[in-house]
Amino acid sequence: MTDGISLSSLFGSSSGSSLAIFAILVVVYFGITFGLAWYGYKKTKNASDFMVAGRKTHPLVMAISYGATFISTSAIIGFGGVAATYGMSLLWLAFLNILVGIIIAFLIFGPKMRKMGKQLRASTFPEFIGKRFESRGLQSWVGLFIAVLMPLYAASVLIGSGRFIETTLGIPYETALIIFTIIVALYVIIGGLISVLYTDAFQGAIMFIGMFFLLIITYIKLGGVVEAHTALTNMAPLVPDSLQAIGHQGWTMMPAFGSELWWTIISSLILGVGIGIIAQPQLAVRFMTVKDNKTLKRAVFAGGPFILMMAGVAYIVGSLSNVYFFNETGMIALDVAGGNVDSIIPAYINSAMPEIFVMIFLLSLLSAAMSTAASQIHTMGTSVGYDLIRNGIFKGKSTKTILFTRIGMVITVIASVILAFILPDSIIARATAVFMGICTAALLPMYAGGLFWKKMTKKGAYASFFTGLFVSIFWYVFVHASEAVPFGICQAIFGKATLLSGMWVYVDPIVIATPLAIIAAIVVSLKTQPPSEKFVEEIFSENEDNEEIEAGNAA
């Protein structure tokens, strides 16, 4: 996805000294990464440490790890290229990421999740759902959901990482993919979540520095903030006819209301990814790693600026790359990149940035990839090893919690690597959006209802989960053109590309499936036997035992 960046093209004839400096930076980077991973391993004494970092993570570490887990190379490179193509309307996505993913998540969802998760002695997201609704079966279903679907998301990150390493270091993609996966999997499998949190925080700091300088240098190159944005506004007549036809009105304007592009931006990108962040299992579990609600409140002041710097800068710089390329070549960014959206940001970095910055930015991209992949591996591994094997197959009676979790990590890493080898090109952004959309529809109504509604029942949870899951899959396969057309299943069965027509084929499944899942949760819960009052009062009680409770201490 980062075609266009290579060490030789970036460092040119001065590659001798530049490559030496870059090599030193890489050695130092990996030295610190493995040092922090080893530190996490030494601090991991029991299952609680391995699964939820002992529930005593520092707010800064938690916030940066949370943000670094969410922001991957697809956000910086992929969505930055989308912003270069469609414009600054994607800033609404950054706004929603901060509002929903940080403020609402940390101040509303987080405190309830932390307290209730501790009272229920939950170590993973599926276990929290299972214990909240007193259903080991539901825990297994959610664990299976993560185990089956998250490898697709993980594979997209691995693909981007492999292509990135391939183009920067000039080694075969297959070799790059294997090396990257082994490095990340090694410290996750050995050190657990403590290692993930500390390495994430370090990698997040590198990402922050890289994006900060990217923004500053961009505005310097374009003559200042006002000048840059004014120039971009004046370029509206240069929007290609093909984009104008679907609603593009300029890089500083929203698409035409109700147009194909408007539905794509609003439903698939802004709502799908903006709301989807709160239903991500690998992010929700972060709330169970801190010791009190004060920690979560303090984490907002780190998490908000971090997401703004990561996502906001990517969308701003992506859009403004049009001004730079037009000034230098007389072409817009998409034309310079040969129509490949994923090549726009690499092409811009290659052309506009000073050499020393390029080195930092390469490490920023590597950090973004590693931090996301590490959290995915941990979440997938715990879902398979802990939720499916230990608590599903062995009914929670086995004491081999960490062993089963490590086995689960190995299994899901292998599955993710296999997918990374066989998935088609241009799958990264699509796989990310699909996973987040299905997570929102299948998990968010059940998750929110479990946290805030005392009358939410086990059957209501089942109903919302399967409604969100199956409606999403149906819509992707038979209605949503971006997936239905390539799948070809609808064409094979019904003789037409999609069952519906008009604007419906551009409406993301999240808009249809999530409301239906919410309705299913409410209707079924009101018509089924409510949970016992004693159990509900205990888990919703404002009183909290100050004694540390080890997650999964049945082991």
Per-residue pLDDT tens for 499-534? 999 889 999 999 999 999 999 999 999 999 988 888
Inter-CA distances, 182 with 131, 189, 228, 473, Å: 34, 10, 43, 32
% of residues, the chain, pLDDT over 70: 89
Inter-CA distances, 353 with 6, 207, 321, Å: 14, 16, 12
DSSP-derived secondary structure for 405-463: HHHHHHHHHHHHHHHHHHSPTT-HHHHHHHHHHHHHHHHHHHHHHHHH-TT--HHHHHH
Tell whether the model's pLDDT for residue 552 goes beyond 80.
no
Whole-number pLDDT of residue 361: 79
DSSP-derived secondary structure for 224-254: SHHHHHHHHHHTGGGS-HHHHTTT---TTSP
The confidence band for 68, taking pLDDT boundaries of 50, 70 and 90, is confident
Whole-number pLDDT of residue 184: 83
Amino acid at position 308, single letter: L
Amino acid at position 24, single letter: I
% of residues, the chain, pLDDT over 90: 35
Higher pLDDT, 316 or 67: 316
Q: What tens digit of pLDDT does each residue of 400-429 get?
A: 777 888 888 888 889 888 988 887 665 666
Whole-number pLDDT of residue 126: 92
Crossing angle of helices 225-234/173-221, nearest 10°?
100
Amino acid at position 293, single letter: N
- What is the b/e burial string over 140-152, where b = at least 16 CB atoms within 10 angstroms of the residue's CB? bbbbbbbbebbbb
Whole-number pLDDT of residue 13: 45
CA 142 to chain centre: 18
Higher pLDDT, 250 or 279: 250
What is d(CA 443, CA 490) in angstroms, rounded to the nearest whole number? 26
What is d(CA 250, CA 153) in angstroms, rounded to the nearest whole number? 31
Amino acid at position 339, single letter: G
> What are 468's two structure tokens?
């969100």
Whole-number pLDDT of residue 550: 40
Query: 190: helix, coil or strand?
Result: helix
4-8, 349-353, 518-522: least confidently modelled range = 4-8
Mean of per-residue pLDDT scores for the chain: 84
What is d(CA 203, CA 33) in angstroms, rounded to the nearest whole number? 8
How many helices and strands, by DSSP H and E, does the chain display? 28, 0
Task: Determine the average pLDDT of the residues in 156-180.
Answer: 76
Q: Walk me through the domains of the chain, giving residue ranges and CATH numbers.
A: 7-392+399-540 (1.20.1730.10)
Q: What tens digit of pLDDT does each residue of 317-331 get?
A: 999 999 999 999 999
Inter-CA distances, 308 with 91, 117, 222, Å: 9, 29, 21
Specify the pTM: 0.84
Tell whether the model's pLDDT for residue 72 goes beyond 80.
no
Inter-CA distances, 521 with 99, 114, 130, 424, 454, Å: 25, 23, 16, 36, 12
CA-closest candidate to residue 39, choices 205, 196, 186, 204: 196
Tell whether the model's pLDDT for residue 349 goes beyond 90.
no
Are 83 and 319 within 8 A, CB to CB? yes
Task: Determine the average pLDDT of the residues in 14-43.
Answer: 79
Task: Determine the average pLDDT of the residues in 27-31.
Answer: 87
Whole-number pLDDT of residue 545: 47
Report the half-sphere exposure of 322 (CA within 13 A, side-chain side).
32
Tell whether the model's pLDDT for residue 538 goes beyond 70.
yes
Report the half-sphere exposure of 39 (CA within 13 A, side-chain side).
11
What is d(CA 173, CA 163) in angstroms, rounded to the nearest whole number? 6
Are 206 and 305 within 8 A, CB to CB? no
The confidence band for 546, taking pLDDT boundaries of 50, 70 and 90, is very low
What is d(CA 16, CA 50) in angstroms, rounded to the nearest whole number? 43
Residue located via tokens 């050499």: 355
Task: Collect all residues with Cβ–Cβ distance below 8 Å to 500 and sequence separation of at least 6.
Answer: 479
Query: 173: helix, coil or strand?
Result: helix
Q: What tens digit of pLDDT does each residue of 445-460 get?
A: 999 999 999 999 999 9
The confidence band for 101, taking pLDDT boundaries of 50, 70 and 90, is confident
Whole-number pLDDT of residue 167: 61
Task: State the sign of the Cα–Cα–Cα–Cα dihedral 396, 402, 404, 409.
Answer: positive
What is d(CA 100, CA 438) in angstroms, rounded to the nearest whole number? 17
Task: Collect all residues with Cβ–Cβ distance below 8 Å to 216 and sequence separation of at least 6.
Answer: none
> What are 401's two structure tokens?
């919690």
